[in-house]
């Protein structure tokens, strides 16, 4: 049975119950107790779109979804051939971003009845996408290398406005494409944090499985989360997806920080109930970056004055 031939439907009441569970916490054991992760298999079912701006943790979320549900995932390019057969639990897409999707490939999926919107602070999502772009440009292995800071700055100053607009476009499209009852919003920041990650994963799994049983029991969710997030591997790939080199500072200009803050404020005003808390957190991070830049500038200025006096 192919995607186009499906009869799409969803239960609003199940979604409301799922949203009400979001305040419940699943605690990560220390150290994580052993858990088995079954190899995901194709399964005929109603899929869910998992949409994000590129650089927002889509591959990690893909691995988490497979591990916790036991069902294969796919993407809007149908690379593994399972999406067109209707045999995936989730379909990864960056639609409608012009950089990383094909509208013609995505067109048959417009009638999928529910979606997950995966958000990441644009301050971090843009440089993450740039790392991917840099790897492609340099013909490097995907998720292997972080671009040098000076390369990031050059790309940033040429592409910032375009990609901030793309980030906003992706968010607005998926906020409008499905109603509240047919959409789940998760964040990369919550997904990777040890205090919120297992709960975020559980919400995601219950939503995409539409009431069906998960491959892992609830008590194993923290263990599954820990294994996938910290190794970025799963039973389908047996390899991780972390870039080497550790985190690196990705600076922005004062004007660029202000632009992101202004756009997030406007977006918050559009969707105060659904995105307000998330965007407030993103703006706090941007404000801290502004303060850090100001402190650095003052320190450099004082040092310059002292040197001149000497």
pLDDT tens for 219-248 read 999 999 999 998 766 656 555 544 444 444
How many alpha carbons fall within 13 Å on the CB side of residue 146?
Answer: 17
Whether residue 79 is found in the same domain as residue 189? yes
Domain boundary among 197, 221, 244: 244
Whether residue 210 is found in the same domain as residue 102? yes
**Mean pLDDT computed over 179-187:** 97
Instruction: Sort residue 44 into left (φ over 0), alpha (ψ -120 to 50) or beta.
Output: beta
Domains identified in the chain, total number? 2
Q: Are 250 and 129 in contact (CB under 8 A)?
A: no
Asked whether residue 295 is domain-assigned, the answer is yes
Whether residue 196 is found in the same domain as residue 109? yes
Q: State residue 238's pLDDT score.
A: 55
The first and second tokens of residue 80, run together, are 């593994």
DSSP letter, residue 140: P
CA dihedral angle for residue 225, residue 226, residue 230, residue 234, rounded to 10 degrees: -50
Which of 264, 255, 251, 263 has the alpha carbon at shortest distance from 292? 251
**pLDDT per residue as tens digits for the range 89-115:** 999 999 999 888 999 999 999 999 999
Whether residue 78 is found in the same domain as residue 224? yes
| Cα dist from 131 to 37, 92, 117, 164, 243, whole Å | 30, 19, 22, 16, 9
Whether residue 218 is found in the same domain as residue 302? no
Q: What is the domain extent for residue 218?
A: 12-120+178-244
Whether residue 218 is found in the same domain as residue 306? no
Domain boundary among 197, 224, 244: 244
Whether residue 193 is found in the same domain as residue 97? yes
**Mean pLDDT computed over 126-134:** 92
Residue 146 phi/psi, 5° resolution? -95, 135
Domain boundary among 244, 261, 276: 244
Whether residue 90 is found in the same domain as residue 207? yes
Q: Are 239 and 60 in contact (CB under 8 A)?
A: no
CA dihedral angle for residue 243, residue 247, residue 248, residue 254, rounded to 10 degrees: 120
- 206 or 27, which is more confident: 206
């Amino acid at each position: 049975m192919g995607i186009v031939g499906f009869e799409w439907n969803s239960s609003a009441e199940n979604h409301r119950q799922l949203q009400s569970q979001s305040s419940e916490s699943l605690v990560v054991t220390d150290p994580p107790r052993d858990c088995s992760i079954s190899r995901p298999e194709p399964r005929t079912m109603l899929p869910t779109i998992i949409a994000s701006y590129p650089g927002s943790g889509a591959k990690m979320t893909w691995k988490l979804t497979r591990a916790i549900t036991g069902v294969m995932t796919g993407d809007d390019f149908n690379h593994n051939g399972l999406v067109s057969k209707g045999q995936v639990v989730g379909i990864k897409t960056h639609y409608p971003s012009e950089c990383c999707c094909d509208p013609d490939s995505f067109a048959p999926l417009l009638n999928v009845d529910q979606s997950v919107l995966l958000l990441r602070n644009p301050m971090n999502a843009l440089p993450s996408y740039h790392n991917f772009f840099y790897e492609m440009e340099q013909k490097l292995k995907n998720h292997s290398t972080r671009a040098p800071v000076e390369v990031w700055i050059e790309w940033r100053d040429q592409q910032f406005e375009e990609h901030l607009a793309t980030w906003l476009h992706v968010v607005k499209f998926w906020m409008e494409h499905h109603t509240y009852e047919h959409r789940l919003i998760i964040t990369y920041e919550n997904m990777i944090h040890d205090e919120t990650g297992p709960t975020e994963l559980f919400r995601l799994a219950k939503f995409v499985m539409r009431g069906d049983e998960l491959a892992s029991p609830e008590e194993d969710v923290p263990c599954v989360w820990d294994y996938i997030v910290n190794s970025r591997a799963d039973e389908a790939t047996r390899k991780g997806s972390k870039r080497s080199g550790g985190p690196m500072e990705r600076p922005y200009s004062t004007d660029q920080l202000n632009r992101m803050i202004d756009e997030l404020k406007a977006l918050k005003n559009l969707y105060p109930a659904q995105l307000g808390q998330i965007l407030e957190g993103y703006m706090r991070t941007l404000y801290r970056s502004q303060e850090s830049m100001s402190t650095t500038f003052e320190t450099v200025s004082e040092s310059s004055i002292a040197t001149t006096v000497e």
